Structure 1
Amino acid sequence: MSEKLVNSDPIQPEPAPSPLSGGAPEDEKPKRRKLRWWQKLALVGFSFVLLVIVELTLWLIGYGPVLDFVVPRLDRGSERVMGINPEAYERFHGRLSLERARFAPWREFIDPKPAGTFRVMFMGESTVEGYPHAPNGSAPAFLEVMLKEAWPDKRVEVINCGVTAINSWSLRIWAQEVLKCQPDMLILYAGHNEFYGGCGPGSLSGAGTNRSRVLAHIWLRDLRLVRLLSDVIDIFRPRSAAPQGLLMEQLARDRQIPLDSGIYAGCRDNFRANLEDIARAAREANVPLVLCSLVSNEKDLVPMTSVHRKDLTPEQRKAWQAHFDAGLAADKAWEWKRAIDIYQEATRIDDTHAELIYRLAQTKEHLGAYDEARGLYRRARDLDALRFRATTEFSDVVRDVAGRNQNLFVDVLPLFESASPHGLIGWNLMTDHLHPTVQGHYLMAKAICEAIARDKARRWEAIDTARLPAYEQCTVRLGNDQMSEMVSKITVYKLTEGFPYAGTPNAALHDRLEQEILAWQVSLSGPTAIGHQNWSTTPSYDALHYHVGKAYLDAGDHGQAIMYFRRAEQRSEPHSLPAARAKCGLALARLASAATPDERQAARTYVTELQPWLRDATSMHPDQQGEFDRLRQELIQTLANTPE
């Protein structure tokens, strides 16, 4: 039986698809097969496993720099020399375009802690590090001198853990490592860098103020795979894309953070949470924690950035500006009372402008209303929208956290006020916007000792504050002198050449320092002038004191050479090449000056004992072995030519 055809027309061949038609008709294209849910899950799992394998591989081969905060420097078998890692800042900052090679000098201590040692770990930012001074001008150095005097039966060591340009995000992580180093006391002075330090909300490496997001940001930066990707990007990134300028300019991304902004509030809350984490870690490690309030330049630094209220109308701003300009004119004419009246008219329009409050504080000071001036100076600092100085509220947070966790709170501010004319803190104790002078560092250490003496919990042996050495005694022991002070001023002078000082009223600091430095340089003569000339033209980290000592040695003045070499050693990092040069210079000066058999024997013994130190230093700095070997050979040759 034949089948009935649906279409009786003859079967025609289908036309070939046109070259412009895109191939087969839409309804006849092969459809993409959709992945089922378990296939998608398997693909995600495979990708995750692959990333884990890559991460583990990079970790096993040791890719990238060691970014631990505490690292071993030398293994002596029964003990290890540990050090604070100067490269640890990269964990939070990444690479910056800096002339300064490191953010923190090496600090050394022995692991395990020698018997009878009372170990203090002093953590913080550039202030704790000692900037702009050498290590012997820092608060940790002064504290060690004071505690040794107060507790003569203890072997006291204060380890300086200060690092430039970091903040509480770094400290909360590094504290975990520091607490494993057997400290008997952990001290924290921090809070100025919360906005522009690593991961600060106003910095280049910031991730906002959402705490979970910042913690995730830090976790991701710790991955070796992320470091690898970052390194690859850096290879192809043009040099012009790298941050430019001095350190402060590179760090500050958001340069207007008002006091009433969400960024400010979020940063303050994260600071509190980070301090709480550190306090909890110290409590779990059974290590007493000391938290310090913050000080900065209030009187002599014009606010760096002033902002108006957001709701000001153009008419109000115009009226405000007229009052402000008139107040400045009265100020310059020394018409203080009239200036106050005009400034107060401006505050009725907008009292959140930092420079207005600062100028009002100046007029109050001129009229002798010092208490009012102090409050206004502090208010002006707090309103400064370029947040390089911590506000009063941050010190209040420190006090509150210390109280809640039964930590020892050290209020540094009263000692600074008592040492300042009329209680107004300025250039008398500050080198710039927040870094203390050497005397300021002494006061910080003294405040800590006095707080320990008042500690009702009796966590440590009592301190007789009457036995604490005076400032002059401490500076002599630590080797601080006028030359040290001038080197610090030269450092600050370079800082003030750029942002945020240049082109502002605060550029006056740069001009003043220039005059002081030039006057000092003109006063130099003889070997001191020669040493200064060699230092200023030699690209090295050697202390000025070393070059002056060398000039005195060449001139045959061995007594002066010995003094300057010793001070150069005190200013140098332990087991560094500058320290080695200072020690070897001291040895040569002692050999040359020895006039009696006993003196010659003492000098030869010093040279002999210096040899193992040089070997250790060479092991810690293998890239500088040639320089260490040259110093060792010079000593051996000089010793051979010296009569016994």
Structure 2
Amino acid sequence: MSRAEKQPVSGLKKAAIALAATVGMLAAVEGALAWMDRFPPEAESFRRVFTEAGNVELYLWEKPVDRHVTVSIEPEQGQRRVVVVGASTIEGFHLQRRSTISKHLKPMLDTLFRSRHEVLNLGASGVDAARVRAVTEFALEELSPDLVIIYSGHNQFMARFSTSYLSRAASPVGALLGVVQSTRMGRGLIGGLRRRKTGAPPAAPDEGQTAFRVLPSSKMEPARDAILDDYEEEIERIVRACDDANVPLLLCRPISNGIEYGPFVSAFSRELSVADRERFTGLLQDTASAVRAGELDRATALLDEAQAIDPEVAEFHHLRGAVAWRRGDDGSARDFDRHKWACDDSPRVASDILIARLERVARATGTPLVDLAPTMERMPREGESRLFLDEVHPSVIGQFLMARDIAIACAGVPGFGSPEACARVDGPTFPPDFEQQCRKLGITDGFRRNARQMGVLGDVNHACFALVPEPYLERARTVLAATPEKDRRTTWLALAEVVLGVLDGDKQRVLTRFEHARALGPVPFQKLLGTLTIQPRLQAGLERLGLRIEGEALVEAPAE
């Protein structure tokens, strides 16, 4: 039969060819991504400048805000050098350097060991375990530490820092996979690989990033596992580097303030009708109102009704924990908190699945691991000081308590601790009195008051994500109402006022406080700009006010 006489391909055969080609393409893409996950890119090298004075200037993080620290290469004679490496919890997260875990740790170690210590703070906000490992390796090579302390894990699931996710997002095959997964056929073929089911459109921007979704986040199961593998590998490399350098290592279990703060992204775990989704969301909003009003029996009944619709939603478990805490059941509250992070579709804190990897490395290598959860994972009762400023960052009293537990753990670290130091843990001079320690470090009442104002900023920031933002806004408004006008121009309250103005629809307040924030300096102002341009709920609020960010200015948006 000649070429011209060949019969046309039938529609069914064309469909079969297209299906086979699609399956082959998906297999190739997944294979390429799996190969990339096996060989993630190295952590971006940070800049370091050696000076003639015997110092080294370390630029641990230069975007969006510089984190620059200068340290002497050689330790001072007669002092043991302790290097603490981590992210914002270690750096101090905008708290002045006079109050950090490292600052509190030094006098505690001096007291326990009856000797002098130098504690270097090499923390930088936002870094993941790969950057922590890179900084640690440099410290081992150049700074002659007697002990290394690692606190890392909260930033691992933030896409802009995770090496595996960055490699996926930056690659053509990753983009191609995203396109394929947006189709009905792609959803059906890859659905088995996902933890979440798909089907409904994503939430509108003004619903907030935590609004319920049934489309998966960027964290599909394979990507999530790759991120966890990255984290475990980086911790293992840190352990090997310390072993090779014969330097003792102490790992810290990262902790979060989940009882006070809700999840970041909630997703349904099953296919639901539009009516059921709306009913579920309404039940949780009513539950939050009942909890604020102290109507715990009503809140429990509403949650029982919501449980029948979908029992595996992050916000649901957060509210279960809130009810348990207000009933005085701290144990159940912590259990609900941990389950919440496990259900969170975009965790920004170290959830149990990540902590399990840290604990596995510690067990396998015999590396000491200090658990800070018994001290910190509770919500203070009425009249007690808050231990956190937001979902992860400790307050001044929180830093003090974390440093105390770390110091106690240091006393037992092989190669660094001693029986004498362990015996002093329960002695008359340890732990030190918090008020005395603050005076010793120059942490004044005014500084502590200003630091507590960061809690207001934590509340309004979380309100930008929360499905039910009112509890956070209510707490922020209460603090602001009790603050004299002259004190509202301090850094954190000025930033909080701008965000509250956007959420409350107060245009004049937004414009006035925006200029106040600009006058506070580049660091807080850049944080404000980042918040306003990143948060969908704030973008929608600015749009409703007829405003937009243009460079570093807030201007009137042109009329449509």
TM-score range, shorter chain: 0.5 to 0.7
Partner of 1:83: 57
1:440 aligned to 2:413?
Answer: no
Distance change in 2, residues 1:321/1:195 (3 Å):
closer
Offset at 1:131?
Answer: 1.0
Q: Structure 2 counterpart of 1:81, which letter?
A: N
Q: Does 1:370 align with 2:330?
A: yes
SS at match of 2:247: coil
Residue from 330, 343, 346 that aligns with 1:386: 346
Match of 1:290, as an amino acid?
Answer: L
Give structure 2 stretches of 5+ with no counterpart: 1-43, 175-208, 210-214, 488-515, 525-560
Residue 589 (structure 1) aligns with:
none
Structure 1 match to 2:129: 168
Q: 1: CA distance between counterparts of 2:292 and 2:520? A: 45
Task: Say if 2:252 and 2:372, in contact at 8 Å, map to a contact too.
Answer: yes
Preserved contact between residue 172 and residue 278 of structure 1 (Cα < 8 Å): yes
- Output aligned runs, 1:573-592, within 5 Å: none
The higher-RCO structure (CA 8 Å, 6+ apart) is 2
Q: 1:67 to 1:304 in 2, by over 3 A?
A: closer
Q: Report what 1:351 is aligned to.
A: 311
1:74-101 CA distances to partner (integer Å, 9 max, x unpaired)?
A: 313xxx022332xx435xxxx5xx4xx4
Partner of 1:53: none
Q: 1:146 aligned to 102, 108, 127, which one?
A: 108
Cα distance in 2 between the residues matched to 1:113 and 1:458:
18
Distance in 1 of aligned mates of 2:220 and 2:374 = 27
Aligned partner letter, 1:479: G
Q: Does 1:472 align with 2:465?
A: no
Residue identity over aligned pairs, in percent, reads: 21
Deviation at 1:397, TM superposition (A): 2.1
Q: Which runs of 5+ in 1 are unaligned?
A: 1-65, 215-248, 250-254, 525-534, 544-644
Separation in 1, partners of 2:447, 2:486: 15
Map of 1:268-347 to 2, 5 A cutoff? 268-312=228-272, 317=277, 320-321=280-281, 324=284, 327=287, 334-347=294-307
Indicate the residue corresponding to 2:144 in structure 1: 182
* Structure 1 residues 457-512: Cα deviation after superposition (integer angstroms, max 9, x where no partner): 45323421233322212111111123212333455545665576377544654554
TM-score, normalised relative to structure 2: 0.64
State whether residues 263 and 347 of structure 2, in contact with CA within 8 Å, keep that contact through their aligned partners in structure 1: no
1:460 is matched with: 417
Question: Which residue of structure 1 lines up, in the alignment, with residue 479 of structure 2?
Answer: 516
Aligned 8 A contact 1:490 1:517 in 2 = no
Secondary structure, in 3 states, of the residue corresponding to 1:207?
Answer: helix
3-state SS of paired residue (2:121) = strand
Distance in 1, matches of 2:338 and 2:97, equals 30
* Higher Cα radius of gyration: 1
Counterparts in 2 of 1:537 and 1:485: CA distance versus 1, 3 Å: farther
Per-residue displacement from partner, 1:326-360 (whole Å, max 9, x unpaired)?
A: 65676577553353244234324322211111122
Maintained 8 Å contact 1:125/1:164: yes
The answer as to whether partners of 2:157 and 2:227 remain within 8 angstroms in 1 is: yes
Tell me the secondary structure at the aligned position of residue 49 of structure 2: strand
Match of 1:600 in 2: none
Q: Deviations over 1:114-145 (max 9, x none)?
A: 33221111000011001131111110111112
TM-score, structure 1 normalization: 0.56
What is residue 266 of structure 1 aligned with on the other side?
226
Report if aligned partners of 1:195, 1:201 keep a CA contact under 8 Å in 2: no
Give the whole-Å Cα distance in 2 for the aligned partners of 1:125 and 1:297: 16
Q: CA deviation at 1:285?
A: 0.9
Equivalent residues, number: 409
Contact 1:70/1:177 (CA < 8 Å) preserved in 2?
no
TM-superposed deviation, 1:454: 4.0
SS in structure 2 at match of 1:82: strand
Q: Do 1:382 and 1:390's aligned partners in 2 also have CA atoms closer than 8 Å?
A: no
Residue 153 of structure 1 and its aligned partner are, at CA, apart by: 3.0
Q: Does 1:71 align with 2:59?
A: no
2-structure distance, mates of 1:325, 1:519? 27
Moved more, 305-314 or 438-447: 305-314
User: CA offset at residue 315 of structure 1?
Assistant: 6.7
Contact 2:79 2:115 in 1 (8 A): no
Q: CA RMSD in A?
A: 4.0
Q: Does the 8 Å contact 2:462/2:472 carry over to 1? A: no
* Cα shift at 1:517: 5.1
Q: Is 1:451 paired with 2:409?
A: yes
